[in-house]
Amino acid sequence: MSDVASIAPVRKSVIVKVPIAHAFEVFSSGLSRWWPMTRGVGKKPIKTVLMEPRLGGRWLEIAEDGTETPVATITVWEPPHRLVMLWQINAQWKPDAAMRSEVDVRFTAEGTDATRVELVHHRFETMGAEAGASMRRDVDGGWPGLIARYVEEAERNQA
Amino acid sequence: MAYGVALSVLADPTRRKVFERLRTGSQPVNVLAAGLPVSRPAVSQHLKVLKGAGLVEERSEGVRRIYSLRREGLAELRDWMDTFWDDALEAFRIEAEKSHKQRGSKRE
């Protein structure tokens, strides 16, 4: 499909009923506790997914055999309000340090007990028109892991 | 349900390759087949199955048949799939609220 001159950002948001500091802490330091293990890019099976909670810190996937796969690098670190990561994954969902799409996550207190978390995945065009469009589609509406899920679902249907 | 058929159909790796090649635009069978490690009749067969599942559509240009992705078919599939960041943020929300509650109950 050739209707991709500029590539729109993917915007998502969620309200979490916790104070802002807690929301930020769970999102970053607590990544291992919530990241869906099915959403991996590196070697399987995945043992853990973690974020080094500091400027320049990496988002790492660690496979059960110890293989480390870098997924992203933190380029803006403003706890508890904002963190930005370079999303170093290419259109084939392989780690690629040259990739420059960006995930910008902002935390806004909504009163004392709730936090709005807004996530923008953008700059897909830095990946090139075609690769960028593919990545955008994947993180917004699809996902290559969906291929694994295709297979999983299909096999379950057949069983 | 339409997506069930689509999923079964896309479970075949070669068929998935044919399907993915159409993401870049509509193509005639011979062009599609040229880049794939299977015969042209095999590609035609895969296209027929994809068409049956509502994932691709075809039109004739003279003697050539041109295949393209069928947007509605993709939309059905997409509706069914969890989206990447939606899924992740929902998992995050659940964990943040759960751990917050646990902290609160420890204080009491």
ipTM: 0.72
Percentage with pLDDT > 70 across chain A: 82
Q: Which of A26, A139, A151 sits opposite B92 (nearest CB)?
A: A26
Query: Taking the domains of chain A in order of start, what are their residue ranges?
Result: 10-158
pLDDT tens readout for residues A123-147: 888 888 888 887 787 777 543 444 4
Measure the CA–CA gap between B78 and A137, rounded to whole angstroms.
Answer: 10
Structural domain containing residue B49? 2-81
Higher-pLDDT residue of B64, B82: B64
* pLDDT value, residue B79: 57
The region of weakest confidence among A11-20, A129-138, B77-86 is: B77-86
Q: At residue B46, does pLDDT exceed 90?
A: yes
To the nearest whole Å, the CA of A19 is away from the closest chain B CA by 9
A34-69 pLDDT, tens per residue? 887 766 677 777 889 999 999 999 999 999 999 999
Residue B36, pLDDT score: 87
**Contacts of the segment B60-66: beta carbons below 8 A, 24+ positions apart:** B61/B28, B64/B28, B64/B29, B64/B30, B65/B28, B65/B29, B66/B26, B66/B27, B66/B28
CATH number at residue B25: 1.10.10.10
Lowest mean pLDDT among A69-73, A125-129, B73-77: B73-77
Residue B71 belongs to a domain: yes
Asked if the model's pLDDT at residue A114 lies above 70, the reply is yes
Q: A29: part of which helix (H) or strand (E)?
A: none
Band the pLDDT of B106: cuts 50, 70, 90: low
Mutate to test the interface with B, among A2, A15, A18, A143 (most CBs of B within 10 A): A18
Helix B13-21 vs helix B40-52: crossing angle, to nearest 10: 80
Q: Which residue has the higher pLDDT, B80 or A90?
A: A90
Q: Is the dihedral of CA A41, A35, A88, A5 positive or negative?
A: positive
Q: Stretch A15-39: mean pLDDT, rounded? A: 86
Q: How confident is the model at residue B64, as a pLDDT?
A: 87
The mean of the pLDDT values for chain B is 82
pLDDT in the model for residue A54: 97
Best probe of the A interface among B72, B85, B98, B100, by most A CBs < 10 A, is B85
**pLDDT of the residue at A34:** 84
Q: Is B63 a domain residue?
A: yes
The pLDDT of residue A99:
86
Least confident of A3-17, B12-26, B89-103: A3-17
Count up the domains in chain B and report the number: 1
Examine residue B103 and state whether it is found in any structural domain, yes or no.
no
Q: Which CATH class is domain A10-158?
A: alpha beta
